[in-house]
Amino acid sequence: MAKIRTTVALIEDDPLHIEQYRAHLTLDPDLVPVAEYTTGQAAISHIANLLPDVALVDLGLPDISGFDVIRHIRHATPHTAVMVVSVFGGEQNLVQAIEAGATGYLLKDSRSGEFNEAIHALRAGESPISPSLARHLLKRFTAPVPVAAVTGTSPLSARELTILQSIARGNSLAEIGAALFISPFTVKTHVQNIYRKLEARSRQHAVFLAQQRGLIKL
């Protein structure tokens, strides 16, 4: 993966973790820390003026919810990719962070190499997630293989069937992308291909047509 110079803002209130992140970032000349915010309000007040490439957000901030900070960043500076770095794991926090607008999620015990590579991956449009958390999403999104996929009668690829099954369950493009380790933009491309192959007008129409043809199960 080609690396590009990336500016990074830290939103974290724990001095020990801030020091740890600094140590990680100094190992990579292509990662440039440009700001540190120890409260959510400070980040909300200043980050739009800074426009960092990546924001690393702790969920357990002392003043406001990290989820609210993520939502503000996605609205105020959509150029900025957001990755949660938290001690809080579990499916609920992960899904809530994705719904708020985060496209990556690391646990705080990640090693420096994992930490830095995840930032580069995030900047490149991927959705890095700590492996232990990814298992939660895989369980959430795993569906039985449709009969049509097994018999070879489906016009959709296996990836497209997985995405359409997830859409039928009400999952967002961001959630699907995180579960499959691809960007929401890639998911959107797959969805457009699904529309074309099924001659569908919308997501609901695609789900209806696929269910009628036995391609997915509701």
Cα 103–106–109 angle (5° rounding)? 170
Q: How far from 204 is each of 145, 169, 176, CA to CA, in Å?
A: 20, 11, 16
pLDDT tens profile 167-211: 888 888 888 888 888 888 888 899 999 999 998 888 888 888 888
H/E segment holding residue 176: helix 173-180
Indicate the CATH number for domain 143-212. Answer: 1.10.10.10
* pLDDT value of residue 1: 47
**Can you give the residue ranges of every domain in the chain?**
6-131, 143-212
pLDDT tens profile 65-117: 999 999 999 999 999 999 999 887 777 788 888 888 898 898 887 787 889 99
* pLDDT value of residue 64: 95
pLDDT tens profile 125-184: 888 888 767 666 666 655 555 555 444 578 898 889 999 988 888 888 888 888 888 888
pLDDT tens profile 35-74: 999 999 999 999 999 999 999 999 999 999 999 999 999 9
Query: 10: which strand partners?
Result: 36, 56
CATH architecture observed for domain 6-131: 3-Layer(aba) Sandwich (3.40)
Burial class from Cβ neighbours inside 10 Å (0-12, 13-18, 19+) for residue 139 reads: exposed
Domains 6-131 and 143-212 share a fold: no
